Amino acid sequence: MLARSAEGLYWLGRHIERTEDLCRLLREQMGALVDRPVREINFGWRRIYGALGRRPPGPAVGVTESEDDYALADSYTLADDLTFERANPGSVLNSFSNGRENARQMRHCISGEMWTCLNLAWLRLGTRRIEDIWKAAPESYYADMAREMNLFAGVADTTLYRDDGWRFLQLGRLVERAQFTIALLLAHLEGVRANPEAGDREWTSLLWICQAFDTYRGRYGVEIRPARVLDLLVEDARLPRSLCTAVDAAAATLGALALGPGPCGAARRCAGDLASNVNQPWPSAPSLPDRAARLRQLEGGCCALHDLVMAAHVGYDTDGAPVR
């Protein structure tokens, strides 16, 4: 496969996954605006911006319980920054439009149904603005956008030929999912460390974001224990959005790819080492700081894996390259 096609499909997968991940975060945050105290709302915003590695616009997020009106107005600004702000490279709109542009450039590598799916989603949701979605229920917009990204993934599953193009698309989604999961967990742990009042509600919202709440309740009941939440989201191979599921699948997908012109052996070894480290049991009764330290090590492994994939299968930087 041409390096340019491989990179385009890889980044298509990353942008679509990024759009869906951020929409799940924002859908949960919009629901919190309805009836949750300001402390929980601010925790959610800090978690989102921490996971994205971005500073919020304006003054630092943080208001007191008596400033409810200010908090709601600030949420409007923050939602706009994360959803429609063109200057924010990681906004929902930019991620979606970048994915669509990559799909346009890779039109010869994807199915007609995939291209149609993205265009219909763009027509329905891509031209709205914050004023439009805030008038009604803003969480509906994020739920609809996440559903469209899931629909695209399903259409790809059922229509795309299982060659290296398919594998690069999947690899992009899986690497993005692994990096997002680690970043989200680290941001959550930092929020808990900085806010001793954080409790069950914050951990429950984390489960909802990762689509793991029902699974947790089925396994452990109603009692929320942070260690159990982290074990489920990191180590449970039966959970579709767990970290180990994403990393194991990425290693298998990378191993099935044809050899590229670059250091493919190093990329495969990195993926294998990362999968081995994720699946290694936690030390006996680790503290939350210990878990955060291990997650930071895994984060470095994910970044190294991305760099090696690019070096092994792309290895160039020219005008007209796919949108990264």
Instruction: Give me the pLDDT at residue 56, please.
Output: 87
Instruction: Tally the domains of the chain.
Output: 2
Residues 139 and 200 in one domain: no
* 56-72 average pLDDT score: 55
Residue 65 pLDDT level (bands cut at 50, 70, 90): very low
Domain that holds residue 245: 177-317
Q: How many helices (H) and strands (E) does the chain have?
A: 14, 0
DSSP tag of 107: T
Looking at per-residue pLDDT, the higher value among 307 and 321 belongs to 307
Instruction: Give me the pLDDT at residue 70, please.
Output: 42
Is residue 63 pLDDT above 50, yes or no? no
Residues 129 and 261 in one domain: no
Residues 109 and 150 in one domain: yes
Distance CA 19, CA 183 (A): 15
Residue 69 pLDDT level (bands cut at 50, 70, 90): very low
Q: Which pairs with CB-CB distance under 8 Å and at least 24 residues apart come from 91-94? A: 91/22, 92/19, 92/22, 92/23, 92/26, 92/142, 92/145, 93/126
Tell me whether residue 322 is in a domain.
no
Is residue 60 pLDDT above 60, yes or no? no
- Please report, as a single letter, which amino acid is at residue 16: I
Q: Single out the residue of 220, 238, 173 nearest to residue 18, CA to CA.
A: 173
Residue 259 pLDDT level (bands cut at 50, 70, 90): confident
- Phi-psi bin for 161: left (phi > 0), alpha (psi -120 to 50), beta? beta
- Please report, as a single letter, which amino acid is at residue 226: P
Residue keyed to tokens 């020219």? 318
Is residue 191 pLDDT above 90, yes or no? yes
Residues 154 and 186 in one domain: no
Tell me whether residue 143 is in a domain.
yes
Residue 21 pLDDT level (bands cut at 50, 70, 90): very high
Determine if the pTM surpasses 0.85. Answer: yes
* 306-313 average pLDDT score: 94
Instruction: Give me the pLDDT at residue 125, please.
Output: 92
Residue 202 near residue 226 (C-beta atoms within 8 A)? no
DSSP tag of 314: T
Residue 281 pLDDT level (bands cut at 50, 70, 90): confident
Tell me whether residue 298 is in a domain.
yes
Residues 183 and 278 in one domain: yes
Which phi and psi (to 5°) does residue 257 adopt? -70, 150
Instruction: Give me the pLDDT at residue 198, please.
Output: 86
Instruction: Give me the pLDDT at residue 1, please.
Output: 77
CB atoms within 10 A of CB 35: 7
Residues 42 and 146 in one domain: yes
Mean pLDDT comparison of 31-35, 37-41, 57-61, 230-234, highest-scoring range: 230-234
Is residue 317 pLDDT above 70, yes or no? no
Q: Mean pLDDT, the chain, as a whole number?
A: 91
Tell me whether residue 238 is in a domain.
yes
